[in-house]
Amino acid sequence: MTNIAMPPMSEPMLAQFNEGFARAEAANVPEPTAMTLATVDQHGRPSARTMLLKGVDPEGFVFYTNLESRKGRQIAGNPNVALVFFWRETQEQVKVDGIVEPVSAAEADAYFASRPRGSQIGAWASLQSQPLDRRETFEQRIAEIEARHDGQDVPRPPHWSGFRVRPRRLEFWYGRKYRLHERVRYVLDGSEWVETLLYP
């Protein structure tokens, strides 16, 4: 998988997302970075799970994961994904349809180094999405990894990195009384972003 040549988000789009995120934080949304990530398998069957946003800029939305997990394998086979943010306390939703590209090794290294040590150990110990015979097996793996790196920095595993979702469609949804909601859609048309209002 290589990086994709796509236009960045426009300043109004990015500002609109950041303003909504700031409102969610101000409203004490328990986890404003939580987002649903939807992927598809080789048969076109969808799969969704909650992830945490770790960065957003004009180039897209960044998250990190085990590359050998179910989602990692699905992304490797099909880079088309969707994201949904729902901030219940502010009645706002953001939907993203886009294409995934890998972050750089430097980005992944920097983020991994910022994680709590326990999370770094877990990235080595967990064979994410694979069958586990019993919890004790996992705990033994954790102990072995802890012992291996005792007194040392924990390096980033080769199977752990990040992805950037580069949007080609972005929609903002604002809840209104009587379900007379407001929807604003941005769609990439060639190299230009086209803004449209939608009926709720």
pLDDT in tens, 162-193: 999 999 999 999 999 999 999 999 999 999 99
pLDDT value of position 5:
77
Active-site hit among 117, 141, 179, 183: 179
| Maximum CA extent, the chain | 59
Is 179 catalytic? The answer is yes
Average pLDDT value for residue range 58-81: 97
Contact between 101 and 6 under an 8 Å Cβ cutoff? The reply is: no
8-state DSSP, 23: H
Long-range contacts of the stretch 145-150 (C-beta < 8 A, 24+): 145/121, 146/121, 149/121
Average pLDDT, the chain: 96
Q: Does the domain at residues 11-108+160-198 carry the CATH identifier 2.30.110.10?
A: yes
Average pLDDT over residues 20-33: 98
pLDDT band at 137 (very low <50, low <70, confident <90, very high): very high
Name the pLDDT band for 6 (thresholds 50, 70, 90): confident
According to the model, what pLDDT value does residue 168 have? Answer: 97
Per-residue pLDDT band for 2 (boundaries 50, 70, 90) equals low
Over residues 17-44, the mean pLDDT reads: 97
Residue 46: burial class (beta carbons within 10 Å; 0-12, 13-18, 19+):
exposed
